[in-house]
Amino acid sequence: MRKNKTITTEDILLKLCQSVSTVLSSATNENVTYSAMVQKISKTSLKPDFGCFVLFDGGFSGLVVINFTAKAAMELYSSYMINMGIPEEELAVLHTSDEVGDVLGELMNQLVGDFTNKVRKELQTNITQNQPKMLALNKQVNLSVDTNLDRPQARRVTFSTQNNNIFYLELAMDKTEFIQLEEFEVQEDESPDAILEEARQKMSADKSDVNQDNDQDSNSDLLDELGI
């Protein structure tokens, strides 16, 4: 008898860590990594110098918190803006600038969006997220999930930027398990570059067909003029 595959809280946390690493690495064009060890914690909290958080709900409920040091926040912000083509002299110089908060909020929105997409495809369930909130802090602020969790669990994972600046991801959610009853195929996301390339090839092929038809029409007209 086939043994059913079980997805635990740690497996869901791993998917979230992969989304954080992938999205931030792609957005900043730098290598953002996470620790292979996960820490059990009793509660989630926003910590100095910069805290971001987002709530999600649906198939399961939870809270994602990312706490940046000032150096980590500025490195990710600067790398992202430079990767977008913004001159270095036009960048903000303080982590408390609104622009830094806006960029980190947008990055968090992207990475949680990537995570919810993974959950939808790989766990066959749906979760929704609210708009991420960002705060520049000089004191610790404790957070709890605004929902009824029967068996709340909290985890912390350490991340490192390319310049070895540290930031921390915290996840709070109800203890849950997903048990796979039947085999299914996980749909792969279609690459935007692949879509554009396919469109270019189609346009090129259509243009080639039009030119070929025009050449054939020209040859037919010439033969008609010669009475052949």
pLDDT value, residue 147: 52
The pLDDT of residue 65 is 94
Note whether residue 219 is domain-resident: no
Q: What pLDDT does 183 receive?
A: 80
* Residue 137 falls in which region: left (phi positive, over 0), alpha (psi -120 to 50) or beta: beta
Would you say residue 170 lies in a domain? yes
CATH number at 130 reads: 3.40.1550.10
Answer whether residue 50 is part of any domain.
yes
pLDDT score for 169: 97
Give the model's pLDDT for residue 219: 60
Q: Once rounded to an integer, what is the mean pLDDT over residues 222-227?
A: 57
Q: Is residue 197 very low, low, confident or very high in pLDDT (cuts 50, 70, 90)?
A: low
What is the number of residues in the chain?
228
Whether 90 has a pLDDT exceeding 80, the answer reads: yes
Q: What is the mean pLDDT of residues 89-96?
A: 91
Is 131 among the domain residues?
A: yes
Q: Which domain holds residue 82?
A: 6-179
Q: Band of the pLDDT at 136, cuts 50, 70, 90?
A: confident
In a domain, 223, yes or no: no
In this predicted model, what pLDDT tens digit does every residue of 144-182 receive, in sequence order? 655 556 778 999 999 999 999 999 999 999 888 888 888
185 DSSP assignment: P
Half-sphere exposure of 59 (CA within 13 A, CB side): 16
pLDDT at 171: 94
Mean pLDDT of 54-77: 93
> For residue 141, what pLDDT is reported?
82
In a domain, 190, yes or no: no
DSSP symbols for 74-95? HHHHHHHHHHTT--GGGS--ST
Helix (H) or strand (E) holding 106: helix 98-122
Residues with Cβ < 8 Å from 190, sequence gap 6 or more? none
How many folded domains does the chain comprise? 1
Q: What is the pLDDT of residue 1?
A: 47
Task: Round the average pLDDT of the chain to a whole number and report it.
Answer: 84
The answer on pLDDT for 99 being more than 60 is yes
The pLDDT tens digits for 1-26 are 456 788 999 999 999 999 999 999 99
Any residues with CB less than 8 A from the CB of 139 and at least 6 apart, and which? 48
The average pLDDT across 64-87 equals: 94
| Higher pLDDT pick, 124 / 183 | 124
User: Which of 42-51, 182-191, 207-216 has the least mean pLDDT?
Assistant: 207-216
**Is there a domain that residue 154 lies in?**
yes
Residue 206: inside a domain, yes or no?
A: no
